[in-house]
Structure 1
Amino acid sequence: MSGSPSADVFDLGAEHEQVVFANDPATGLKAIIAIHSTALGPALGGTRFFPYASTADAVRDVLDLSRGMSYKAALAGLDLGGGKAVIIGDPAELKTEALLRAYGRFVQSLNGRYYTACDVGTFSPDMDDIARECSFVTGRTTAHGGAGDSSVLTAYGVFQGMRAAAAFAWGTESLAGRTVGVAGVGKVGRHLVRHLVEDGADVVVTDVYAPSVDRLRDELPSVRVAASTEELVAGALDVYAPCAMGGALSDEVVDVLSARIVCGAANNQLAHPGVEKALEDRGILYAPDYCVNAGGLIQVADELEGFSFERAHQRATGIFDTARTVFELAAADGVPPATAADRLAERRMRDVGRLRGVWLPR
């Protein structure tokens, strides 16, 4: 299982330490692992199983996601670097035990520079299969001593970030009486909606996968449903929570958005550099995604110490204070929150970086 990146990949991943390709024809495995930074420790990030339209799309996604993981780990105060993996293909058609075990052997070959976990298209039982061939796996099922579904604390952390944003914008931590639009009610969005309903918010949701919406409505009948994401973002909202795929905050969305706050679980929400300034110009408070969605990373990272849900939950509660610090720094420096969050993360990677360079297994 091997491959080599092209010169274009070197250009795209110029700030990354390592980008590795895997190809196993026997199982249909085509995977890419990107290690962005190990300045704070070994890289940790989920494996996304997704039917990318092209290899180039997969490369761009894994590079963006791995970079975000470095910043997420740094801002969360973890001694971990940032990495990410993608498996190219439709998991409903390609995912097998053999493929996952082949992928596990590939991760093992990196000798601990990269720890994997769940992401879009992969689940805790998949991590158990990967772990049959690999020592560097987190997010396993509780039956195998793991943390289980990391979406639980991802959603909890986003809720804490949203409370911090509400306190900064309106002077109250509660979302009671506020209208919150949630785009994407899969693994994370579903848990987030429950927190919001329990806090007294009026919640409107949408998802391209109708069964996810139907299941949520059965569990929480008070939730309203928008016909599409376009209808949702154009409606009257106090908070918009993108919880599906990246790139949700485009120029077109920002132009029609009525929400005072954007705070969601999706990674890489800004469609392009400059969107954060457009949000600020419209008076919309943006909670940087990698700041508020770090709860899942905190949860699976806790496995490395012998998992304690109570300890991980307490650490994820700290996302409230981290988000508040980001908003306060942004206001003091006169910059968008995304810029303030980047500065805080970069400062920690620079000042606390374990080796001032790459991390190598001992």
Structure 2
Amino acid sequence: MNWFEAMERHDYEELVLCQDKSSGLKAIIAIHDTTLGPALGGTRMWTYASEDAAIEDALRLARGMTYKHAVSGLNLGGGKAVIIGDPRRDKNEAMFRAFGRYVQGLNGRYVTAEDVGTTEEDMNLIYQETDYVTGISPSYGSSGNPSPATAWGVYRGMKAAAKEALGTDLLEGKTIAVQGIGNVAMRLCEYLHEEGARLIVTDIHKDAVQEAVNRFGAIAVDPSDITGVDCDIYAPCALGGTINDDTLRTLKAKVVAGCANNQLLETRHGDRLHEMGIVYAPDYVINAGGVINIADELSGYNRKRAWSKIGEIYENLEKVFEISRTEGIATYMAADRLAERRIEWMKNARSTFLQNGHHALSSRRLRR
């Protein structure tokens, strides 16, 4: 793989390979764009099929974080890190401390956080070597588990999508099909149940399904049936790609709004949702609550301030829907445009500032 060509294609800034033989660390840090601020993104630990696959994943995820931060109104850029290894057996203290030193060496250009395969305890180890880490234990002044914040943002975003599709953001009496009942989705179900929504749930883990049935009076269905149930809102909250050719044939919902990443198997499926008149809340807009919450740690964590910002996901989606309507494009494309316009605006503002500064300096020199 020609990685310089790959980086040039989407204008990445930096790709860092990190190695520590004694601890077994093999890691990649990808920084996509720092126009809006330092790059923030989690550290993922995974058993990749190859080193090229790990690099490709880091680059893809970093670019996604650029868009998530931009559309959320955060003054942050996009970055991501991956550690190659099995998170169940390859972890050790020296590995994460070595990784922390690499993060420290970037001097604030990249700030890390928890992701798939890493935990709060892992972040605590990284914190021993660098201040450029979020999602550490609350005893260190951090925000702790991000799941409640992510769920609150998805709940707010779901209400905005319901208003766009159904004319009201009231979810009482609405039927919502939730695919996947992990930590975030369970908390989401709690919010929905409290408002009086009717829940249909599924998960490969039967104990999670049973908990939802017991706590919220949810109706359980087989995982293969969830996209075809009669419902107002389909909430994908597990693996990505559940909006695809097969599920679009049976989907009866008027809204797609959930906490999963990469909900569209391909972008053309977002176009198809648009053609079908189904309102899609783009995943990186609606599920940004967790990253908004941990981003607040960079200013000294204030829960009231952070959750107020998370609540703005409602307004962010309203902007996306407005662009979609006025420009006649699918919502996933509208979200991209909203993010890209903010980044471009900042680039132009910075260029103007630098030009004005140069002209002022030249004028002073001429006066001399």
TM-based fold match above 0.5: yes
- Distance apart, 1:142 and its partner CA: 0.9
How is 1:79-158 mapped onto 2 (pairs within 5 angstroms)?
79-158=75-154
Unpaired runs of at least 5, structure 1: 1-5, 357-362
Q: Paired residue for 1:222? A: 217
Q: 1:1-362 alignment to 2 at 5 Å?
A: 6-7=1-2, 9-14=3-8, 15=10, 16-217=12-213, 220-228=215-223, 230-353=224-347, 355=350
CA separation of 1:224/1:51 partners in 2, compared to 1, >3 Å: closer, same or farther? farther
- 1:55 Cα offset (Å): 3.4
Specify the SS of the correspondent of 1:180: strand
The question of whether the paired residues in 1 share the 8 Å contact of 2:155 and 2:191 is answered with: yes
Alpha carbons 1:65, 1:268 under 8 Å: kept:
no
Aligned residues: 348
Q: 2:52 and 2:251 mapped to 1: Cα distance?
A: 31
Q: Taking CA–CA contacts closer than 8 Å with sequence separation of 6 or more, which of the two structures ends up with the larger relative contact order?
A: 1
CA 1:87–1:240: 2 relative to 1, 3 Å: farther
**Distance in structure 2 (CA, Å) of the matches to 1:60 and 1:253:** 28
Structure 2: how far apart are the matches of 1:288 and 1:227?
25
- RMSD across aligned C-alpha pairs, in angstroms? 2.0
Does 118-127 or 153-162 show the bigger shift?
Answer: 118-127
Deviations 1:240-275 (A, max 9, x none): 222223333222222322111111112222222312
| Paired AA for residue 192 in structure 1 | L
Superposed CA offset, 1:269-288 (max 9, x none): 22223121111112211101
8 Å Cα contact 1:180-1:203 kept in structure 2: yes
Deviation (angstroms), 1:217: 4.6
| Conserved 8 A contact 1:123-1:149 | no
Q: Report which of the two has the higher share of helix.
A: 2
Amino acid at match of 1:306: G
Secondary structure of the corresponding residue to residue 55 of structure 2: helix
| Partner Cα separation in structure 2 for residue 195 and residue 322 of structure 1 | 20
Aligned 8 A contact 1:291 1:319 in 2: yes
Give the Cα separation in 2 of the matches to 1:249 and 1:43.
29
- Identity between Structure 1 and Structure 2 (%): 46
> Match of 2:222, as an amino acid?
A
| Residues 113, 135 of structure 2: 8 Å contact kept | yes
Q: Indicate conservation of the 8 Å contact 2:199/2:216, yes or no.
A: no
Q: Structure 1-normalised TM-score?
A: 0.90
Q: Distance in 1 between matches of 2:30 and 2:242?
A: 23
Q: Is the 8 A contact 1:118 1:150 kept in 2?
A: no
CA shift, 1:37, in A, is 0.6
Question: Per-residue displacement from partner, 1:133-187 (whole Å, max 9, x unpaired)?
Answer: 1220011121111011112111111111100000111111122222222222223
Going from structure 1 to structure 2, the CA distance change for 1:250 and 1:139 (only over 3 Å counts) comes to: same
Pair 1:307–1:169, CA change in 2 (3 A) = same
Residue type of the partner of 1:49?
Answer: M
Asked if the contact 1:18/1:34 (under 8 Å) is kept, the reply is: yes
Quick one: distance in 2 between partners of 1:182 and 1:56?
34
Q: Which amino acid aligns with 2:297?
A: E
1-structure distance, mates of 2:281, 2:120: 28
